[in-house]
């Protein structure tokens, strides 16, 4: 619930506020002042993140015969550790790891998270549950807005900025969208403003509705968990199309770095280009 207040500010301070109004996510002075206060107070972001680390990483064999994909090294840290860094950058320290393949190795390596500066809770997949099924296992922990991210990607996004869009548009789920030169190998977003109408799967390059693809990073509301069917299910096929039809699915285009570690070619690219997460830097 919001309340109207009247404040008096120095004219130079107002000029600085006005410079930050982008007409897209930030529409007016009131919104920008709210953002600055929330950022300073550390309140404008979800409190918990679910990281999906249950996959087998078959395209990275024989490497993934020995270790789970989330433990693959990039610049001296595992993939999951880079995601911890992103969360910590924005004050998110409560992490739920959904572990399946080699889950004992995952639990042994990451433990309770204390050596990485986070608090880890585990949900365990006895059989593969896809990208949506694990959220049903974690339901009792998800009482407010939360993050879901694939655990086999490197990414550096502005989480508070994405969260502002999510809340302002009253979305049930918001998907981070990254730009690619050739979208023909991905599901490509068709948008109306920030509203996602659908994803077009692997279109020809010249027929793609945009160059924006799903970056495997979401902000969701607890109601979404109740929409997930039992057993194996996919957010991309079983949940997001329903939300799109209801007008409750939003897209957040981001300029932050994103690398899919889906095969050895992409892994080598990531090792060369990944810049890491600057704990003090801002991502637009």
- What's the pLDDT tens digit per position in 47-74? 899 999 877 767 768 767 887 888 888 8
Question: Lowest mean pLDDT: which of 50-59, 103-112, 187-196?
Answer: 50-59
CB of 98 within 8 A of CB of 137? yes
23 lies in some domain: no
Residue 186 maps to which CATH number? Answer: 3.90.550.10
136 lies in some domain: yes
pLDDT at 37: 65
Residue 251 binned pLDDT confidence (cut-offs 50, 70, 90): very high
pLDDT at 262: 73
The closest of 63, 12, 59, 4 to 34, measured between CA atoms, is 4
Query: Highest mean pLDDT: which of 6-10, 32-36, 77-81, 198-202?
Result: 77-81
223 lies in some domain: yes
171 lies in some domain: yes
284 lies in some domain: no
Using CA atoms, how far apart are residues 228 and 136, in angstroms rounded to an integer? 7
- What mean pLDDT do residues 111-137 have? 90
Residue 18 binned pLDDT confidence (cut-offs 50, 70, 90): confident
Using CA atoms, how far apart are residues 221 and 218, in angstroms rounded to an integer? 10
22 lies in some domain: no
CB of 58 within 8 A of CB of 128? no
62 lies in some domain: yes
pTM assigned to the model: 0.81
Catalytic machinery residues: 202
57 lies in some domain: yes
Give the DSSP letter of residue 166: H
Cβ contacts of 74 within 8 Å, gap of 6 or more:
82, 154, 261, 270, 271, 274
Q: Which domain holds residue 258?
A: 38-273
Domain count, the chain: 1
């Amino acid at each position: 619930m919001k309340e109207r207040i009247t404040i008096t500010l120095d004219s130079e301070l107002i000029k600085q506020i006005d410079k930050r109004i982008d007409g897209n996510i930030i529409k007016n002075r009131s919104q920008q002042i709210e953002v600055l206060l929330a950022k300073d107070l550390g309140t404008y972001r979800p409190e918990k993140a679910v990281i999906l680390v249950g996959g087998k990483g078959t395209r990275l064999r024989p490497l993934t015969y020995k270790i789970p994909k989330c433990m693959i090294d990039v610049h001296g840290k595992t993939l999951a550790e880079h995601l911890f860094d992103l969360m910590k950058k924005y004050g998110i320290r409560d992490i739920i790891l959904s572990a399946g393949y080699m889950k004992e190795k995952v639990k042994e390596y990451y433990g309770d998270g204390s050596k990485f500066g986070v608090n880890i809770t585990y949900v365990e997949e006895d059989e593969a549950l896809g990208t949506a099924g694990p959220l049903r296992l974690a339901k009792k922990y998800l009482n407010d807005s939360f993050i879901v991210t694939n655990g086999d990607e490197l990414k550096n996004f502005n989480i508070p900025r994405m969260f502002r869009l999510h809340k302002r548009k009253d979305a049930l789920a918001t998907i981070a969208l990254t730009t690619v030169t050739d979208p023909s190998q991905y599901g490509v977003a068709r948008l109306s403003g920030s509203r996602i109408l659908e994803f077009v799967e692997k279109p020809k390059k010249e027929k793609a509705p945009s160059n924006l693809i799903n970056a495997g990073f979401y902000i969701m509301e607890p109601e979404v968990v109740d929409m997930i069917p039992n057993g194996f299910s996919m957010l991309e096929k079983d949940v997001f199309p329903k939300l799109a039809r209801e007008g409750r699915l939003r897209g957040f285009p981001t300029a932050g770095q994103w690398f899919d570690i889906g095969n050895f070619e992409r892994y080598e690219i990531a090792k060369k280009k990944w810049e890491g997460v600057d704990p003090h830097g801002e991502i637009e």
